[in-house]
Structure formats: structure tokens, C-alpha cells
Amino acid sequence: MRRFNIVIPKEDGGIEVHPMKEWLRQHPDNIPPGMDTRENTSHQLRDNLLKMGWRIQETDTEVRLIPPGISDSLVEIDTILGDSDDEAEEDVAPVFTLEHQLRDFLAENIHTVSINGKRLKLFVDQK
């Protein structure tokens, strides 16, 4: 399963990486018209962000979305983050600076946790 991340270059040369749906919920003015982060898939959101001028950088394990108006950042982003296809996923330890990042990571990867030979599943309440 690929991760969909919003990548925001910072003035100091660094970058911020945020889970796409969570970032869009925090910045609703960037959600494509007629779309909803809870109802539409990450693929649908990505396709509509692309139509809005966002740039996309894809690897086997990650989809990086860069907002419009960011010039020549793709090379810098790749230099900072690296090409995730070259790294073994087991060797990459996730780092969470905010609680919502940990929550989203656990929700997206809960199926990888095994207890007594059974995989965990995320319960989603039907509202």
C-alpha cells in the first residue's frame, strides 16, 4: 500500500511531510471542489489535485504531492527524502512528531499487526 503525502518545502531549505487526507482536512481551502476527504479515495483526491496544478512524484511505496507555485522543488525534495524505492521498507523507522500522524499511521497499517496468528482489523463505525 502506498502512502499519500503532501510535501511542503520550507524557506530554510527543509521540507514538511504530512499525510494527504489529514493535511487537506486541516487546509479545507485546498480540497478539490466537490470532493470530501472522508468519502473520496486518496487516488481520486490525487487525480483532482493534479488537475488543480499540483505536482506529483510517485514511487512504489509513496505518492508525494507538491502544491502549485513551488518552483524547482522536486529535485530538492528527492535529495532530502531520497528515492524511497531504493530503501528497504524494513530499514525505515517511522517518525511521528504529532499525535494525528501516529494515529493515521496505525489506522493505515493495522493489518500488519499479528496477535496469536490473526491480523488486526480497524473497526469503522457506520454513521
Quote the number of domains for the chain. Answer: 1
Domain presence at residue 118:
no
Question: In sequence order, which residues have a C-beta less than 8 Å from that of residue 89 and are 6 or more positions away?
Answer: 61
Domain presence at residue 44:
yes
Global pTM exceeds 0.75: no
Question: In sequence order, which residues have a C-beta less than 8 Å from that of residue 61 and are 6 or more positions away?
Answer: 2, 3, 84, 85, 89
Domain presence at residue 122:
no
What is the share, in percent, of the chain residues with pLDDT greater than 90? Answer: 33
Helices and strands (H and E) in the chain: how many: 4, 6
Domain presence at residue 63:
yes
Domain presence at residue 18:
yes
Domain presence at residue 97:
no
The length of the chain in residues reads 127
Domain presence at residue 104:
no
Domain presence at residue 99:
no
* Domain limits for position 11: 3-88
Q: Average pLDDT, stretch 83-100?
A: 60
- Going by the DSSP 8-state scheme, the letter that residue 2 receives in this structure is -
Instruction: Say which residue, 83 or 28, is predicted with more confidence.
Output: 28
Query: Is the confidence at residue 68, as pLDDT, over 60?
Result: yes
